[in-house]
Amino acid sequence: MQEVLMDKVVVNMSVGSDPDEMKKAVQIIKLVTGKKPVNTLCQSKIPDWGLRPGIPIGLKVTLRGNDAIEFLKKAIQAKAGKISSKSFDKEGNFGFGVGEYIDLPGAKYDPKLGIKGFDVLVALRKKGFRVKKRRIMPTKVGINQRVKKEEAIKFAESLGIKVE
């Protein structure tokens, strides 16, 4: 029950409210992950930037299972196999940014798309975490069933990621 598992990997790209940039970002996310992205919407009003609630300003794709593991290995190669210990939060999740999508192995540069980066966020869990999310009788998760920062670092190192 104390085994740390990878719940999901979320690939996020913020592009702003420009529709042309959004189309380019959709192509990049499809190229990188092989999945269709979902729009993320603006939650607050920022008149100086021309933003209001409900406008699509970014994209995200959620990967689970083998797709998540394969993508994470490629994304770590783009970061030279190492990430900072500051990338881990106290709940055991971690994330990092990839500056250019062409850093991924197998990605080719397309002049029409330009050079854009994205964020990779990894959510970890232990067995038994489902009691918090279930529909009938959800309960709190005990402190021993939450992933701690040290456990997340050990999990990342078991995947071949150097944590500095």
Confidence (pLDDT) at 137: 93
CA-to-CA dists, residue 91 to 62, 145, 164, angstroms: 19, 11, 18
In this prediction, residue 135 carries a pLDDT of 92
For 51-110, what is each residue's pLDDT tens digit?
788 888 889 999 999 999 999 988 888 888 888 889 899 988 999 988 888 888 888 888
pTM: 0.86
User: For the CA atoms of the chain, what is the radius of gyration?
Assistant: 17
> Which CATH number belongs to the domain containing residue 147 in this structure?
3.30.1440.10
The count of C-alpha atoms lying within 13 angstroms of the C-alpha of 147, restricted to the half-sphere facing its C-beta, is: 26
Q: What residue numbers bound the domain in which 65 lies?
A: 4-163
What domain count does the chain have? Answer: 1
